[in-house]
Structure 1
């Protein structure tokens, strides 16, 4: 199967690389320096279970999605509409589209531009770009996907590539659960440039984390979203399973790149204002990250 990864950052490269190792024809669509390295040497994958140079195609042109039967949409949340418009003229009519992005509304935003089904996915993986053509995997790797016309095909495809997948009828709740974890960790990790395991040991930090979580849950409830399970336990577990992980927001700020904070704490802030739910702690974290971005 031809698979295109639109937005070949850390997440897209990990899943694209796993599918390429399983024998699929993968093309990564990304930035010139990264594309040049992959075209020259393949993608180097350093994971918890293997290290390998994985040959695959790469391009800077959105037209490389042409002929793909599966498109993994992995661009940063602020780039969703731009990427959708760039891809639109080249998409195969029968292609399956899957959004592997932070935030809760990206699949809807893809659908609004493309006017076709885009399945949302919740991504649980710790990974980073360690250099051009070099993706480093720190842990996990499972996906939770919303039901779609491609569900059965996706289950088989990812299982054969050693990627655990669950199809959920409450993907909105799963997306919000992931959003809450991101809101709890990403901004604090970005402001301090500290990994999760170090953060949770800071004086007063667990209390801040609880406050962020409570605000997010209140907004989700007001929006009619059911977030299942013990959210505080899920939040604490992240620090145990990914103690050395810097948040994606921290990585963006360290590289002087715009972050996705508008679609994390910023989204909760805006949604809370619309629903008359106060979110003062999310507001402070959002404002501080925006200040750091402005440097």
Structure 2
């Protein structure tokens, strides 16, 4: 019996004899279980409502197919290999576009964060241009590079660059002036101050910008594939809509949401581990 474990007396029915229960440990386990189950309550409720509505005929199957029908289509796409072809095409586009946009965002944000003059020259124009949505850039980029893969890479890179650049600027500017003063006292050069003081302090904000940038890139990928593509998850949604196959549309939407959620969880875990590693130093 652990010395830290607490017990309480609960009366039993027949003999009225008390029963010893480790309430402290049980309460902690219940709280952890409730915390882990809470995010799934709304999705399960929506799924139950969807199933009930399909079974009761509240909405026509042509508008909202039953879950079993969507699952069957999803299984057929996976077995035939068509689903993996579209997933591979979408992942390649988003990874290439995100990598380009992230590098440009880091360079641009670092330049504005380290130089007030660069910020004065670039930030007003940057803030004006980022207000234009991805679809607003589509006709212009289409005239420049055509309807091929470069079009998708450019638009995805633009979407990813914006949050990365803004968070990089914020991260570089949020370093306390006292820390930089300490660096000057110790005779640090500008390069040493950036690498040993500014950059380590900005890492959490930089990682947040990268995470937001990937989210924007993934959303822009689907938008671009809806408009100009012959393969990919966005194309699968458009193709199903054109054929009035709403079960295929729902299956593709579920895959898009599942992949986006999985990638976001991976980035969240990486961010938490990085934060714990920095806190233990």
Q: Kindly name which structure, 1 or 2, has the bigger radius of gyration based on alpha carbons.
A: 2
Q: As a proportion of its length, which structure holds more helix?
A: 2
Structure with the larger RCO, 1 or 2 (CA within 8 Å, 6+ apart): 2
TM-score normalised to structure 1 length: 0.20
TM-score normalised to structure 2 length: 0.21
